[in-house]
Chain A
Amino acid sequence: MLHPDDKQRTQELVRRHLKENEPYDIDFRLRRKSGNFGWFQSRGQAIRNELGQPTRMTGSIRDITNRKQAEEALRKSEERFRSVFKQAGVAVGVVESQTGRFVQINSKYEELIGYSNEEMTGKTWMEISHPDDIEEDLEKSRDLNEGEINRFSMEKRLIHKDGSLIWINLTVSPIGNSQEIPEQHIVIVEDITERKRLEEEAHEHRERLAHVTRLSTLGEMATGLAHEINQPLAGIGTYASACLLLLRATDPFPEREKLIDILGKIEVQSRRAGEIIHGLRKLVAKRESVHTSFSINQSVDNALALTESEARTQDIHVRRELASDLPRIHGDEIQIEQVILNLVCNAIEALRESESNRREILVRTSQDEQLIVVDICDTGPGINADDVERVLDAFVSTKDEGMGLGLSISRSIIEAHGGRLWVEPNPDCGVTFYVNLPTSQDADS
């Protein structure tokens, strides 16, 4: 009845019990009637006579097959975990949930961080994290401990033993039963330094290109802009001379009201010139991308202010239909303004070649669910069907002096903001450029 593997151990324990008179507690396998072995726990004690000799046994025997199976499953699962942990192709570590101290890291983690498992044991994850990333990680770990989330991922920087920074994608989940506060967290770390570097390069490249195109757009606009600035300056000078004439003529009492009126006009004109210069400097400055929340209608107004005199001299009528109460956009205001400026300049350029009597540009803003739509519609000669797809590519231009960078950089700016830029021919004449941008609420979520 007793399993052959358990026979010797069981008999030995009983023998020892009889000799030393301690209660016994033995687990062993017995063959059931069905022929299968089941696990049983036997506890008991020998009853002795007055001479101290054992006469009979008293105690209990219990079927513990289920418990034994569960224990076995657990042991196997732990073994599996250990082998996965050791051999995993990604860096894995175990940390104490309360202190953040490392309990263990695998060899991939050792490779990544430069410290050995022994060196890491006892160190906390805070010691190897970039200071700016600790707070977010702490907050999420707290949520994990409080059971509000059951795992989290974040991108952060670790500090290698040699002091260099490693960009990682971190995933943390608790070890053990989800009902109680986990004692340990398992952390899985993926090295994304290379991806981050490429992203950063692409970003810098786009910034540089955006700057160069801004400069070249302004270069093309230089004559119109000089005119635009000279207008108010000429006004200022003329008003000022009028004041002097009045002051000299009407001795001893100048015409006070008239002077106040004219000086007020000088103020307005100098502000007008200043605003144009300010707008230009913002566009020309080499700058880091700054993300703020702003109004698209303001961007349209700014861009149209810069192109106003050019449009006027080309005898082009610029209309705007701007929707009120549009949600704000989150992004780089200057870059979006640059895109609108590019598209308006493009439309002016198209109309310059046009012989048509209708010389119109219509700039509209509207909302389409979670998207802000800006469309810029011209009555120019339009684009060939073949060119509609290609016109947004870099170095493709239908104009003789164009480099074709303006539209392609515009598209990459819009796409970097999570939006879309495309062009469609109008049913009658000219084309319409469409810009889609997600609203601020959308970008935050």
Chain B
Amino acid sequence: MTSEPTIFVVDDDPAMRESLKCLFDASGDRCQMYASAEEFLKVYDPNWPGCLILDLRMPGMNGLELQEHLSELNVALPVIMFSAHGDIPAAVSALQQGAMDFVQKPFDPNSLVGTCSCRDCARCRTTHEIV
């Protein structure tokens, strides 16, 4: 479906998804929204480049579990983990598992754009050029 670098967002809060969509549309980045880890896994092709924004607390499979699952599948998609205040132990495990960044809500959207934007991202550019 997509070989262009895309920011994949998995968050169960509809307002969160919508506002991130507005943000990335405005910054000119491609993005795809998913309401749950299961929904994301159903459609995701491991060859798609980009990065993954994950909410830590979600019903069903949570953010950490999805991250674990992806690394078991050898998917090297960079992960940015979202969480509410106070989930420090979870943050540590996310980073240990190779998360690119850990962001506490509420966060600074500008720095999020800076982190995710595929144009500035060496990894994506490399992937993109290879593809």
Contacts and interface: CB of A to CB of B under 8 A. Distances in A.
A167 interface: no
Given A231-B105, A238-B109, A242-B22, A312 B85 contact: no
A390 to B, nearest CB: 34
Contact of A242 (B15, B23, B104): B23
B15 A269 contact: yes
B96 interface: no
B19 interface: yes
A323 interface: no
Contacts of A289: none
A236 B113 CA distance: 15
Interface stretch (A198-206, A222-230, A376-384, A430-438): A222-230
Nearest to B109: A241
B16 A235 contact: yes
Contacts of A268: 15
A379 B64 CA distance: 27
A265 B15 contact: yes
Interface in B91-131: 104-110, 112-113
B20 A226 contact: no
Interface residues of A, number: 29
Contact of B105 (A230, A262, A265): A230
A72 B19 CA distance: 98
A251 to B, nearest CB: 14
Contacts of A230: 84-85, 104-106
B107 A242 contact: no
B72 interface: no
Given A239-B22, A241-B113, A265-B18, A315 B85 contact: no
B106 A312 contact: no
B72 to A, nearest CB: 22
A221 to B, nearest CB: 13
Counting chain B residues whose Cβ lies within 8 A of the other chain, the interface size class is 20 to 34
Given A223-B84, A312-B59, A313-B59, A240 B109 contact: yes
B80 to A, nearest CB: 13
Given A226-B85, A245-B27, A246-B26, A238 B19 contact: yes
Interface string A72-108: 0000000000000000000000000000000000000
A249 interface: yes
Contact of B22 (A233, A262, A313): A262
A238 B85 contact: no
B57 interface: yes
A238 B20 contact: yes
Contact of A226 (B58, B86, B113): B86
Contacts of B27: 242, 245
A312 B12 contact: yes
Contacts of B60: 315
B45 interface: no
A233 B113 contact: no
B38 interface: no
A232 interface: yes
Contacts of B23: 238-239, 241-242, 245
A313 B57 CA distance: 6
B26 A237 contact: no
A226 B12 contact: no
A152 B108 CA distance: 70
Nearest to A233: B106
Identify which of B15, B22, B57, B106 gathers the most chain A CB atoms within 10 Å of its CB.
Answer: B22
Interface of B: 12-13, 15-16, 18-20, 22-23, 25-28, 57-60, 62, 82, 84-86, 104-110, 112-113
Interface of A: 223, 226-227, 230-243, 245-246, 249, 262, 265, 268-269, 272, 309, 312-313, 315
Closest 9 CB pairs of A and B: A241-B109, A227-B84, A245-B26, A238-B19, A242-B22, A233-B106, A234-B105, A230-B105, A235-B15
